[in-house]
Amino acid sequence: MVDELFHGASELEGRTIRNIAAVAMDAPAAANSGHSGTAMALAPLATTLFSRVMRHDPSDPSWPDRDRFILSCGHASILQYGAAHFFGYDVSVDDLRSFRQGLSNTPGHPEVGHPQNGATPTVEVTTGPLGQGVANGVGMALAERILRAEYGEDLVDHRTWVIAGDGCLEEGISHEAGSLAGFLGLDRLTVIYDDNHITIDGVTELALRDNAAERFAAYGWQVLNVGQQANDLDVLEAALRDAIAETKRPTLIIVRSHIGFPSPTMMDRREAHGTPFSPEAIAEAKAILGMPDEPFALDATLPGLNRSHLQERSDLAAPWRERVRDAGERGAALLAQLASAGALSTSVEVERFEEGSAVATRKAMQRAMDTFAPLTAGLTAGSADLTDNTGVVLKNSTPQGHDNPTGRQIHYGIREFAMGAILVGQALHGGLRPVGSTFFVFSDYARPSIRLAALSRAGVLFVFTHDSIGVGEDGPTHQPVEHLAALRAMPRLHVVRPSDANEALAFVEAHLRDPSPATTALILTRQDVPVLRGEDARASALHAARGGFVVRDHPAAVFTLVATGSEVSLCLAACDQLAERGVATRVVALPCWRCFDAQDASYRREVLRREIPSVSIEAGATLGWHRYVDEALGIDEFGLSAPASFVFEHFHINAARLVDYVVTTLEGAP
């Protein structure tokens, strides 16, 4: 009987579990694609969370003080969609039938802010690449702590629950994120480890013999192992309550489930991971569950019954909104910060760098932090162990930690990948505007989290300094060459390489002021760069935000010189040298290709003027430049260990190369 399958379940909970398990088979079978086994095995856990433990309200799914739920093993997305449906959220039976179909509200992996239909209820972050949801959870727990310390526990008092699988814990990001979470003592974070011993290739013992309990205990976590009690709701609830009772450490709950339970033919088999069940296997499992042997024969009364059950619980959305109103200015400030992601709203004058001086664009970052951080309510900033180098020191803040919950300065340690995903968690939590930084070459370590930040429209600001061969003596291991091209290929990501330090200041201010900023990679130099002056500076101030602009024009120009970042100064120098030879040229800067591409066609034509010859120069790979110019000069080779000036000359990234190219091209023209 079903009661023997799901110990401690109420009649309502038992029916809910059975229906989730049934739809976990039906939806992938209908799509001929999907992962049934994990969702079936975790139906009791999801029901325990949604029914007994989590603070959530289906009638107000975006209620800011709700508990956050993250399915890090996003391949089991039908579990989340099924739970959302049966607990009364706006996920219909038709949505379940449309699982993994075009433009449906139930995509193959959970997607926050799904572009066709808006946010699917209960989906807080985009998951799928394993392990990132664990780090997102660290970011969400960190955001909750900071806001709670700022506004008080009566207004901010929620927890973050993450379900992770074997794959999540195998991925390296879980080591990075787990280590930092333990150090920070994020006691409002609970990760439930679904230890089902199955991966795509077969049993985990093919490649894994870690002791997860000892590993996380060493990180400083509370570890609770409930053994093979994945179907006992009382045992699961007790462990979840023990996690709530812990006030100094994050908690890992280890649950030994059996993938595909209760299917006699699919349980504990690797095929249960990603292969839709056959009709015979579905019929057999449904018979054990006591469910009708027909697709999507779901209990239509369950959403309403579960919603009524949840309404009986006390501290939900409506009482919270009353407390916010009663808190007066404090409550109003919290709502404003949540609505704007803590954007910079106060008018402030930032001291500009002296025109004609030489300043590394990375130095703009520290000046921006000094000026804007005290006025940006949601700002958090930190780096992967390079805080002074990247200029993200918050002089009016102290390092974040369990004993300093208000700290906005976050030391991520040498954990670039986790840092990126933690930034995403902070941003998608709401109320915070996270900035994270490292050397540009190490964007390789962070790239998967940058990708999900862009996919999620998270609005994170990634600051990457030491942007080119200008790194110098550190050599090719530290000199980014292909990185600009790689990040520019990423959809929705604004890759910004400012022409000078003042332009960098303007980009940072614009990002902090935007209530819905684009996810941005700000690429800054280590070496000094001339600060634009006169009309060149005026052109930057007026038009750089459009992503591309004419720095210097000439009515008789016969060539256009185009660049980004430090190489804009080379174009200006070449322009002057060519003028001395009687050759009129114009100079264009393209600090953000994606921003420029978003401008109207007439503006782009006016800036590029493709009817005359053009050439670009950039201290990086030339891939992609031919969209904007006739010829691209750059570096399609790894760098060199030597002083920066030698390396630039070695690769001919200089004004002389531009002059020679223009003169040679014009002489060869018919």
**What residues are labeled active site?**
416
The Cα 329–Cα 346 span in angstroms is 17
Sheet holding 251-255, edge to edge: 68-71, 160-165, 189-194, 251-255, 222-227
Q: What is the DSSP string of 355-389?
A: TT-EEETTHHHHHHHHHHGGGBTTEEEEESS-HHH
For 566, the token pair is 């430090």
The Cα 596–Cα 609 span in angstroms is 14
For 544, the token pair is 């750089």
Q: What is the DSSP string of 303-338?
A: HHHHHHHHHTSSSSHHHHHHHHHHTTHHHHHHHHHH
Cis peptide before 262 (omega within 30 of 0): yes
C-alpha dihedral (67, 72, 77, 79), degrees to nearest 10? -60
- The answer to whether the beta carbons of residues 335 and 324 sit under 8 Å apart is yes
The CA angle 494-498-501, to the nearest 5 degrees, is 140
Residue 467's closest CA among 441, 446, 487? Answer: 441
The Cα 206–Cα 352 span in angstroms is 59
Radius of gyration in angstroms for the set of CA atoms belonging to the chain, rounded to a whole number: 28
Cβ count within 10 A of residue 646: 14
Dihedral sign of CA atoms 254, 255, 257, 259 in order: negative
Would you call 506 helix, strand, or coil by DSSP?
Answer: helix
For 571, the token pair is 């174009």
State which amino acid sits at residue 223.
Answer: V
